Structure 1
Amino acid sequence: MRRSISLTVYSTVAAILILAHCAAAEPRPAGVSRFIHFSVTAVYPKSFDIIASAQWSIYGHFGLAELKEAWHKKALRLANGRKFKSSALVVHDGEDSAGGWAIGFRSVSGTITLID
């Protein structure tokens, strides 16, 4: 009995620690492909860095125009109806060797600053 209580307590503590360090994915704006991923970082109280990225794939969805449009939709969603100004968008093309295979990716990043 004592052993099962200890196991239950340890399991519960482990689950809480694991879940406390998990981060939820950024919500996707309507009309954006599931192959495009977002990262948003608060820089100042009213400024946010937004990165829209996608891996090169046979399904497409890594074109520059599509990534810029997805970035803009994410900026509009983040601003939530408020006015904002944005920095010039920067495009990054890169490669990652996950699992020994080279996988290309493209990302578009920029910063928005809320005006209101």
Structure 2
Amino acid sequence: MENWKNALKLLSSRISLNREPVIFGIRQKDIQVDIFAKAGGDDYSLIGEVKNRKAKFSVKEAKIFLAKALEVQQLENVSKALFFVFSAGGFFQNTIQFLQENKIAWSDDKKFL
């Protein structure tokens, strides 16, 4: 867990989480992710979702994010990626279980904002 926290700290020091999301146009539809940081070489790229709101992050939202993140990973030809979700409002317990099962890092620690 510490590795992804360090990666997020480094990432948040280099980009603004308030900037416009990254949008990929794909076959008549758009895929939008909040953070996409492509790494060089054999390093991990970061693909993330940021929800700065009071509502908890749901399993439905997690499934949608996972589908988008996998498609971005494929489109950008990224071999190694770390998926993560930040939700200021927290997560439902079943959402945390889904994220863990799918190896998606998650945090509700507001220090990242």
Give TM-score scaled by structure 2 length: 0.40
The structure with more radius of gyration = 1
More helix by share: 2
More strand by share: 1
